[in-house]
């Protein structure tokens, strides 16, 4: 049975991705800070969903929790780093910029490190991050959010190049272009905002680029 861990699954895109993965036959470990929302999703989706609360901003703890879960679940095929936040911040409040960097950059990079090292050690696995076209160039209203997504995309590109040297079925993807419409690119997500059409775009991209890819491991980074 295929297995996935989804970081940031309590609302929005992550919650929708959890449903897609369960429908596609995965056992899915879901995490976020809002445990009641995760438990509600577990009730809805059944016993193929496992729940753990996690605050990505608490870097040592979330690294340890992901590590443990990867071992406990065993043979995890897919880790999706969806957790993220952003503030429209024209006044450049530092506490908002700092929070965005701590979660979207420091926390997510730490989890990417745990997942990638695990996959390389085990010779297989797919790491996916949910980035944004906001990372392609900056804007005046959300500097930290745009920069954090640029970091994520480039970091995952780099991990993918790194994985090529392993001659194993390991890769990483940063979903970027189609996950977001231009108007959303200048309107970063808030931690509590549910989105409407955007998750559907993200979900169809996810199906095409991630699920299909995870099922076709023969094409992965094996150099002949």
Ligand X SMILES: NC(=O)c1ccc[n+]([C@@H]2O[C@H](COP(=O)([O-])OP(=O)(O)OC[C@H]3O[C@@H](n4cnc5c(N)ncnc54)[C@H](OP(=O)(O)O)[C@@H]3O)[C@@H](O)[C@H]2O)c1
> Looking at the annotation, which residues are catalytic?
145
Residue 18: how many other CB atoms lie within 10 Å: 26
Give the binding site for ligand X (CB under 6 A): 8-14, 32-34, 54-57, 82-86, 103, 130, 132, 179-180, 184, 189, 191, 193-195, 198
Report in angstroms how near the CB of residue 166 gets to ligand X at its nearest: 27
Smaller CB separation from ligand X, 17 or 166: 17
Smaller CB separation from ligand X, 82 or 214: 82
Q: Which of 205, 125, 212 is nearest to 171 (CA)?
A: 125
Report in angstroms how near the CB of residue 161 gets to ligand X at its nearest: 22
Smaller CB separation from ligand X, 32 or 109: 32
Report in angstroms how near the CB of residue 91 gets to ligand X at its nearest: 21
Smaller CB separation from ligand X, 88 or 195: 195
Report in angstroms how near the CB of residue 164 gets to ligand X at its nearest: 25
Q: Beta 3-7 vs 78-81: how paired, if at all?
A: parallel
Q: Which long-range contacts (CB under 8 A, 24 or more apart) does 156-163 make?
A: 156/112, 156/127, 156/129, 156/131, 159/112, 159/116, 159/127, 160/221, 162/116, 162/120, 163/116, 163/119, 163/120, 163/221
- Residue labelled with tokens 């990867």: 70
């Amino acid at each position: 049975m295929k297995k996935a861990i989804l970081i940031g699954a309590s609302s929005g895109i992550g919650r929708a991705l959890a449903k897609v993965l369960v429908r596609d036959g995965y056992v899915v470990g879901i995490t976020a800070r809002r445990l009641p929302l995760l438990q509600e999703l577990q009730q809805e989706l059944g016993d193929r969903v496992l729940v753990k609360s996690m605050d990505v901003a608490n870097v040592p703890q979330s690294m340890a929790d992901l590590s443990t879960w990867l071992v406990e679940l065993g043979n995890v095929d897919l880790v999706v780093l969806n957790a993220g936040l952003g503030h429209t911040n024209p006044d450049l409040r530092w506490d908002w910029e700092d929070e965005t960097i701590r979660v979207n950059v420091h926390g997510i990079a730490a989890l990417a490190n745990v997942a990638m090292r695990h996959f390389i050690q085990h010779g297989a696995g797919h790491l996916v991050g949910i980035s944004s076209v906001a990372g392609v160039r900056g804007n005046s209203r959300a500097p930290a959010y745009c920069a954090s997504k640029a970091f994520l995309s480039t970091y995952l590109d780099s991990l993918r190049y790194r994985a090529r040297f392993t001659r194993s079925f390991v890769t990483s993807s940063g979903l970027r272009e189609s996950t977001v419409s231009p108007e959303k690119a200048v309107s970063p997500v808030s931690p509590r905002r549910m989105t409407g059409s955007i998750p559907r775009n993200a979900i169809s991209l996810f199906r095409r680029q991630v699920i299909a890819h995870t099922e076709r491991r023969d094409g992965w980074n094996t150099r002949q």
